[in-house]
Amino acid sequence: MLYFNSLDNFNVSFYFLDFLFFSVLLFFLSILGIFVTRKNIILTIVSIEMLFLSVNFNFVIFSVFLDDLIGQLFSLYIIAVAGAEAAIGLAILIIFYRLRKVISIDYISTIKG
């Protein structure tokens, strides 16, 4: 089991491994979602956001269990950047849908300029 200086209880280290397993599972599910749903752009964006969520969850886990605040602050920065990325990406998709009346990765590759 993993023990840290400030946490020498067996149950705490057991919860640490549970949270870490959940973060890794979420990460691999999002990678699978990116590769499986290549035709649907909305599900691809959701999978990318889920990937950011798993990384943020991992930062918060290690920040709490190592008694360090830097991981939580870095997680807040990533959430802010991911929110801006999602807003801009969805705005581009709405504009593209109004022009072409279809949202597909095959048609998006035809954009020039």
pLDDT tens profile 32-77: 999 998 788 888 888 999 999 999 999 999 898 888 889 899 999 9
Helical residues (DSSP H) of 37-111, grouped into ranges: 41-65, 70-100, 105-108
pTM: 0.75
Q: What's the rounded Cα separation, in Å, for the pair 72 and 51?
A: 17
51 and 27 Cβ atoms separated by less than 8 Å = yes
pLDDT digit string (tens) for 74-101? 999 999 998 898 899 889 888 888 887 8
Return the CATH class of domain 10-108: mainly alpha
- CB–CB of 65/4 below 8 Å? yes
